[in-house]
A and B are shown apart, each in its own frame.
Chain A
Amino acid sequence: MTAELGHFALILALFMSILQSTVPLVGAQRRHCSWIALAQPTAILQFLLVALAFGCLVHVYLISDFSVVNVVSNSHTDKPLIYKISGVWGNHEGSLLLWVLILSMFGAAVAVFGGNLPPTLKARVLAVQAMVAVGFYLFMLFTSNPFERIFPPPLNGQGLNPLLQDPGLAFHPPMLYLGYVGFSMAFSFAIAALIEGRVDAAWARWVRPWTLAAWCFLTAGIALGSWWAYYELGWGGWWFWDPVENASFMPWLAGTALLHSATVAEKRDTLKGWTVLLAIITFSLSLLGTFLVRSGVLTSVHAFATDPTRGVFILVLLIIVIGGSLALYAWRGPQLTSTGLFQPVSREGALLFNNLVMTTAAAAVLLGTLYPLLLDALGGGKVSVGAPFFNAVFIPLMIPMIVAMAIGPFLHWKRSDVTPALLRLRLAFGAALLTGLLAFIAHQDGPVLGAIALALGVWLALGAVTELASRIRLFQIPLGDALRRVTRLPRASWGMTLGHLGLAVSIIGMAGAGAWTVESIQVMKPGDRVMISGYEFTFDGAKDSTGPNYSVVAGNFTVRRNGEHVTNLAAEKRIYAVSKQPTTEAAIHTTLAGDLYAVIGDPEGANGAYVTRLYFNPLVVWMWIGTLIMVFGGAISLTDRRHRVGAPKRSRADAAVQGA
């Protein structure tokens, strides 16, 4: 019964979104007030209906209703409660439902909080938002219905993939989706602006917080994903350039560019066409990401073969949404005129440079991800593109970008000079050079890139701090006055400083973990010792036990340094009862200098010996600390007063620019 209720709510939501996507749009064109006004109630109702459908799906999971196919294939009565809930979005159908839930939630948020938006713009934004939703509802109802029944119902379910039974991954998809779908707001605003033929500071001011919020969620989601890969996959890696990761990274790159471009559009009334294009691209990549991650249609031709209807539907949906919006852009885009002029060396120029590098990087990642598919289309056979390609393309793009990233914030709007900025950064430059040299000398056998990356991290971190210091005029005016200036800095500028600083910290972590990880694989009998980076690991043997729905082998290690006890590590290997699939749970001891990381493999012989893998991953924790700082910076920036007060009229926007 619950399943039918959910199904019915989903059908009603489809009709609601059809209404929402047509009537207000026509109303905005013909200036019918009552038609325009329909956007608000339909958006809210649509959200409530999807929320009901989602609630129904959660309910059938909680009561383990095995007459629903979706529950059978993804759940099991033995599963702990949290994974029964996360099982809802741990599959294709359920994740699509979560997707539209978030989409309609954002729509409802605009309907409720968008009181100070011009009514026609609001109606158009909500209509575009609903058009995307229509596509998704049709897709779900025709090809991926989460409420489909099975008869006769089996006694128990098939369980959730054990790799996904992990707290990190339970919350990873919702985070990513909040990010992906958050970019739909920027997209809807961009399309609405193209229909209106107008992009102004008020528009940009509305787009920015939505983009920023989406960006924060996506950053957190990506970090969560890489953290999960780090401790769950059990070989100390944290980024593999696989299609699923790339799918979330591409919208991040484009979204970062959008964030910077929207700032220029808001403050300087220029780069408008570019900002609108980036909004379209970012959301398009998010759509692609959704399908890459969940349906597997684009990663594996095999999945496409088992269900061609889905694949064709997705392709058609992508063509309509992306192709349609790009066609609209080609038609209406030229009407977006910019008034702000600027020299190549200026704040605008620096932000444009950031945009170009970020989009090029996103394009490179897209190429690498789709290349196997493209090559197959040309009859070139099956290949896979791995880390060597991505590193070779991505790293050379990022080096000049990070060099410029420390300088950019010192430049003035319109026209500027690099020399004063460089003079202020001499301290940062010296420190970066020194760090790089020291790292190079200390690790002569390691890759040079590690030293370069470490130096870049220090350069960017000190650059961000120097910029903050010069903003509050530290050491130029009395200390008390300078500190008073700190408290008065706009929160948006804190956002920038923390965002850049966070990236710098992450780069330092990546440099350490990427370049100087020490690995040791061996067979160890109880009592055997292995030395790694000054730490002595003693294997104390392995014990069997059972968890809620798995059996487990735990290998114990004692770690000492210079004879002193540091920690005990218990590395687990779990075998899940339902699927018999083994997973590794690495034992990790985190310190700021680096992680001690132990994994236990298969038994070897009868004397209690096991294959073990031990790692020392220097500085790796800083990578995630850095992403936390970035997300925190984004959140601070979101609380900026300017986002809360209504978007000012054109003249007041100019005044704000003078003040900034």
Chain B
Amino acid sequence: MNRRVFFLIPLVVFLILTGYFAVGLTKDPKRLPSMLEGKPVPDFDLKPIKGRDNKGFASTDLKGSVALVNIFGSWCVACRAEHPFLMDLKESGAVTIHGIDWREEDPDAGAAWLKKHGDPYALVGDDPKSRAAIAFGVTGAPETFLVDAKGVIRHKIVGPLDKKIWENTVKPMIERLRKVGAS
């Protein structure tokens, strides 16, 4: 009898571990804290990109309404894949999108790219030396930040933003933020 118990121990230990696993994996994964979520956007003041307009883009532009900040570059293949969706988003007028043109080697490339594929952005800042990108903790392009009316980062999307992420995550968050802002 004792001998049987001894052979049961590994199974019992495993089942306990599995229980923890199951609970651990069902924890709300959206709560994975990004370093900057819930914090104000870092201070930045970027010059306009050559050949678009002369407004530029600074952290102070983010006060007043909910907006998306999209990190892109004409060299980035995934940004090209993401681009049509950003154009749709602009057409629908659901939210203002600002762009940070990251690590452009040729100063004309960003504007040329936007001319060719369409320009979904309200404001675009030029960031050839990664000043703003580093402050935002960007690891690659594209990345998109959801910023609320007070200029606080609410969410970060790594990789291309698409319809699925928009409908499931970003859109509900924007609606909630607007409701809170209005009340």
Contacts and interface: CB of A to CB of B under 8 A. Distances in A.
Contact of B7 (A319, A330, A378): A330
A301 B32 contact: yes
Contacts of B75: 577-578, 580
B24 A326 contact: no
A578 B81 CA distance: 14
B30 to A, nearest CB: 7
Interface in B1-60: 3-4, 7-8, 10-11, 14-15, 17-18, 20-25, 27, 29-30, 32-33
A323 B30 contact: no
A323 B81 contact: no
Interface residues of B, number: 32
Contacts of B76: 580
Contact of A302 (B7, B29, B81, B141): B29
A305 B29 contact: yes
A628 B51 CA distance: 59
A330 B21 contact: no
Interface string A313-343: 0010011001100110110011000000000
B10 A374 contact: no
B103 interface: yes
Interface in A150-167: 154-159
B77 interface: yes
Nearest to A366: B17
Given A156-B77, A578-B77, A580-B73, A330 B27 contact: no
Contacts of A494: none
A639 interface: no
B103 A580 contact: yes
A320 to B, nearest CB: 11
B97 to A, nearest CB: 22
Count class of interface residues, chain A: 35 or more
Q: Interface majority SS on A: helix, strand, loop or mixed?
A: helix
A580 B30 CA distance: 28
B18 A154 contact: no
Interface string A9-35: 000000000000000000000000000
A318 B17 CA distance: 12
Nearest to A150: B81
B77 A154 contact: yes
A311 B103 CA distance: 35
A154 B73 CA distance: 16
Contacts of A326: 10-11, 14
A377 interface: yes
B80 interface: yes
Nearest to B139: A581
A157 B77 contact: yes
B15 A323 contact: yes
A580 B22 CA distance: 38
A204 B92 CA distance: 69
Given A273-B7, A322-B14, A377 B81 contact: no
Contacts of B80: 154
- B3, B21, B141 — most chain A CB neighbours (10 Å): B21
A415 interface: no
A157 B30 CA distance: 29
Given A154-B77, A329-B10, A579 B22 contact: no
A312 B24 CA distance: 12
Contacts of B64: none
Interface string A377-409: 110001000000000000000000000000000
Given A277-B10, A374-B24, 13 more contacts: A154-B77, A154-B80, A156-B77, A158-B77, A158-B78, A301-B25, A311-B25, A315-B22, A315-B25, A323-B15, A374-B20, A580-B75, A580-B102
13 contacts: A301-B29, A302-B32, A312-B25, A315-B18, A315-B22, A318-B18, A326-B11, A330-B7, A334-B3, A370-B21, A377-B21, A579-B140, A580-B102
List 5 tightest A-B contacts by C-beta distance, closest first: A305-B29, A377-B24, A377-B23, A333-B7, A326-B11
Interface of A: 154-159, 273, 277, 280-281, 300-302, 304-305, 311-312, 315, 318-319, 322-323, 326-327, 329-330, 333-334, 370, 373-374, 376-378, 382, 577-581
